[in-house]
Structure 1
Amino acid sequence: MEEIYCAALADLLGHGAARWVPRFHEAFGSYQGAYEASRAELTARGLLSAGYPGLLQQLSLPPAILYVKGRLPDSEQGLAIVGSRKATDYGLGTAASFGRAAALAGIPVFSGGAYGIDGAAHRAVVEAGGITVAVLGGGLEKLYPSRHLRLFDRICEKGALVTEFAPWEPPLAPQFLQRNRIIVGLSKGVLVVEAGARSGALNTAHIALDENRELFAVPGPITAATSQGTNGLLKQGARLADTPDEVLAFLQDREEGLPKRARPRQLDLFPELKPEEKPRARELIAWLQKQPGQTLDSLADAFPWPLDQLSMLLMELELAGRIQRTSRNRYIAV
């Protein structure tokens, strides 16, 4: 049994396993004890920095290790701004507007450092003299995209680059979905500016709901493909973000000064599924968010459901744009 926990620790720690697994074993006396240790126990034994962000510890699956270049903000009022890489001028301008407003209000902005909405939000914050953090899908020695290297340097002047991947890890597609939970975990609220019907930003929105973060969406033209996802979130109950005021008010705990709005109902994340399928769909999506790149066989081992029902559910979620099947027949959440 100890061998299994040793292997699980090594898988969790990735390329840092050779250095860290022995230290975990020494601190707890067994691999099982180390694997099952709480955050408080890890901190007490010096295996988790006391500076580990408090909000991030609230995630259902917080990263075991964070690599940071720069300095993480102390504030827990942060705003995540996410959206399409292939953004329109409308989306880019809106992301910049919200980013600038947050910076001027002293609120840190978190995003993914990518092209499009991410880059526009980061750039607006640094130009306004604010603090922003880019959460990366690869290691700090493999910065991506390369066209943002100058932007990354400017981000580090007051904010930081953050990743859970070892410095030499290249940026791979499943890792960008995996890093989305860290963007959510560092933030009090999540703003989706533009998102297509099958956008990675919707993955971030779903994680925000799963992790009990407030979700905002910017409305867009009904004819724009990049607004299908955000308009869909609004129809399902996300909070309307037509100006920065309400978003900033929520982050600063001063909503009483704004016009009253009905609290959004719980989003139905699977409107296309039958009611009896939805609990299984939530469970399956949550599993793929935490462990992307699963095969049908590995999912069948994890879920004791009839294989035909599992296959049908995977197909329905794939058609709905909630999961993708890679060229190697591995499934990832979207």
Structure 2
Amino acid sequence: MEKFYWAALGAAKGIGAAHMMALVRVFGSAQNAYEAEEADLLATGILSPKAVAAFVQSRKQQERFPEKLREQCERLHIDVIPIVSAAYPERLKRILQPPLVLYVKGTLPDFRYSIGMVGSRMADAYGLKVAGYFSSELAKAGVVIVSGGAKGIDTASHKGALQAGGKTVAVLGCGVDITYPPENRTMFEKIAEQGALISEYPPETEPLPFRFPERNRIISGLSQGVVLVEAAVRSGALITAEFAMDEGRDLFCIPGNIFSDKSAGPHKLIRDGARIALAPDDVLEELFPELAGSIHSNLFACMEDKAPLRVCSEQQRKLLDLLTQGPQTLEQLVTATGWSVAETSVLLLELQMKGFVQTDAAQRYVQS
């Protein structure tokens, strides 16, 4: 039951983990600290009078919180891991603002070899392919892939690790009982089987916008290094990159199309001194040299057996060349080639059947 009192302390707003841990040391247990009288809390000198008043008020508003949380977590098969537990990741304890508790669905892996994969929610085909490739190859080498469960690069990273049979962890900006985005339900179920869903928020906590930047520190905190695939200059992924640098983590950036705003973030950080990663081995050699050499040396070697030049017509290759510039509508491709709508449509359908082209959410054509 003690861990649920830790969770109750963690649910109090405006009081950091360090102050809560100090209260537990004074009162001897999380339960005693949570149930302490207002006068006794003030007497410790750990919290300001304003913080004590806010804590007492919060406690009144969440009546029987520990008992209700226990019932809820048992029903939903959610584990609660306080910061004092041996199961709490050691690396995460050392960040500036560690979460007081972690809510976990699944099984926490060994984070000795772990990499954070982050990037744009609105990634293009290039970014999705690179994220999936890096994650798959790193997972094959025994690295845990940590990401945020969101659309775009996060999803591609998790799927890459899952398809490789590796371990991956999704750090959520909501309760681990909530599937957000909803279309990732099946993926989340697989993550819980092959790794874990993690959150600092109790069950039923809604995915409000401010919670996602907060959870980014946990992604970098669990990781030995962070790989940034695609991101605009102002983006949540860059927040994670900043957390990584602030906490002394190694930051790797994958260069992209110089004409794409999605490459602006990585390119800026590269100019500022971040490492360039052109292949998964670049990450392994820097962080885990004992694992290096066990995977493909570069993306092109990995994809050699799928080279479209050998199986596509000259017209199809022209379409593929155009799609390297980014997503294109049918009308844009017709204008660029000068071919008819019917002819272009047939060629695109053939490329889709060969697995070289797909459509995105906006029904634009992109490379697979």
TM-score past 0.5 threshold: yes
Give the drift of 1:74. Answer: 1.4
Give distance in 1, aligned partners of 2:159 and 2:10: 39
Give distance in 2, aligned partners of 1:208 and 1:70: 25
Give the drift of 1:65. Answer: 1.0
- Aligned Cα RMSD in Å? 3.0
Kindly indicate whether residue 124 of structure 2 is the aligned counterpart of residue 88 of structure 1: yes
Give distance in 2, aligned partners of 1:109 and 1:73: 10
Alpha carbons of structure 1 residues 47 and 223: separation in structure 2 relative to 1, 3 Å: closer
**Secondary structure in structure 2 of the residue aligned to 1:201:** helix
Alpha carbons of structure 1 residues 13 and 123: separation in structure 2 relative to 1, 3 Å: farther
Residues 10 and 21, structure 1, Cα contact 8 Å, conserved in 2? no
Residues 131 and 159, structure 1, Cα contact 8 Å, conserved in 2? yes
Of stretches 165-174 and 139-148 in structure 1, the one that deviates more from structure 2 is: 139-148
Letter in structure 1 aligned against 2:176: L
Structure 1 residue runs of 4 or more that deviate by more than 2 Å after TM superposition: 6-10, 20-27, 29-36, 253-257
Residues 9 and 30, structure 2, Cα contact 8 Å, conserved in 1? no
Alpha carbons of structure 1 residues 255 and 162: separation in structure 2 relative to 1, 3 Å: closer
Match 2:283 to one of 218, 222, 247: 247
**Secondary structure in structure 2 of the residue aligned to 1:24:** helix
Kindly indicate whether residue 205 of structure 2 is the aligned counterpart of residue 169 of structure 1: yes
Give distance in 1, aligned partners of 2:239 and 2:98: 17
Give distance in 2, aligned partners of 1:8 and 1:103: 32
Partner of 2:266: 230
Residues 92 and 221, structure 2, Cα contact 8 Å, conserved in 1? yes
Letter in structure 1 aligned against 2:214: Q
Residues 284 and 292, structure 2, Cα contact 8 Å, conserved in 1? no
**Secondary structure in structure 2 of the residue aligned to 1:67:** strand
Q: Deviations over 1:238-259 (max 9, x none)?
A: 00011111101223145999xx
Q: Deviations over 1:19-67 (max 9, x none)?
A: x97443569x95476968xxxxxxxxx8732211000001000001100
Residues 78 and 251, structure 1, Cα contact 8 Å, conserved in 2? no
**Secondary structure in structure 1 of the residue aligned to 2:13:** helix
Alpha carbons of structure 1 residues 250 and 35: separation in structure 2 relative to 1, 3 Å: farther
Match 1:24 to one of 30, 33, 50: 33
Counterparts of 1:1-334 in structure 2, within 5 Å, are 10-11=12-13, 22-25=31-34, 31=41, 48-254=84-290
**Secondary structure in structure 2 of the residue aligned to 1:162:** strand
Partner of 2:314: none
Alpha carbons of structure 1 residues 84 and 256: separation in structure 2 relative to 1, 3 Å: closer
Alpha carbons of structure 1 residues 68 and 12: separation in structure 2 relative to 1, 3 Å: farther
Letter in structure 2 aligned against 1:24: A
Residues 118 and 154, structure 2, Cα contact 8 Å, conserved in 1? yes
Partner of 2:356: none
Alpha carbons of structure 1 residues 30 and 94: separation in structure 2 relative to 1, 3 Å: farther
Alpha carbons of structure 1 residues 31 and 250: separation in structure 2 relative to 1, 3 Å: farther
Give distance in 2, aligned partners of 1:7 and 1:64: 8
Report the identity percentage.
Answer: 45
Alpha carbons of structure 1 residues 30 and 50: separation in structure 2 relative to 1, 3 Å: farther
**Secondary structure in structure 2 of the residue aligned to 1:187:** coil
The size of the alignment, in residue pairs, is 239
Alpha carbons of structure 1 residues 69 and 34: separation in structure 2 relative to 1, 3 Å: farther
Alpha carbons of structure 1 residues 240 and 255: separation in structure 2 relative to 1, 3 Å: farther
Partner of 2:302: none
Alpha carbons of structure 1 residues 35 and 56: separation in structure 2 relative to 1, 3 Å: farther
Larger Rg: 1 or 2?
Answer: 2
Q: Deviations over 1:232-277 (max 9, x none)?
A: 11011100011111101223145999xxxxxxxxxxxxxxxxxxxx
Alpha carbons of structure 1 residues 192 and 34: separation in structure 2 relative to 1, 3 Å: farther
Alpha carbons of structure 1 residues 100 and 7: separation in structure 2 relative to 1, 3 Å: closer
Letter in structure 1 aligned against 2:13: D
Alpha carbons of structure 1 residues 34 and 220: separation in structure 2 relative to 1, 3 Å: farther
TM-score (normalizing by structure 2): 0.60
Give the drift of 1:146. Answer: 0.6
TM-score (normalizing by structure 1): 0.66
Residues 184 and 213, structure 1, Cα contact 8 Å, conserved in 2? yes
Give the drift of 1:75. Answer: 3.0
Residues 63 and 164, structure 1, Cα contact 8 Å, conserved in 2? yes
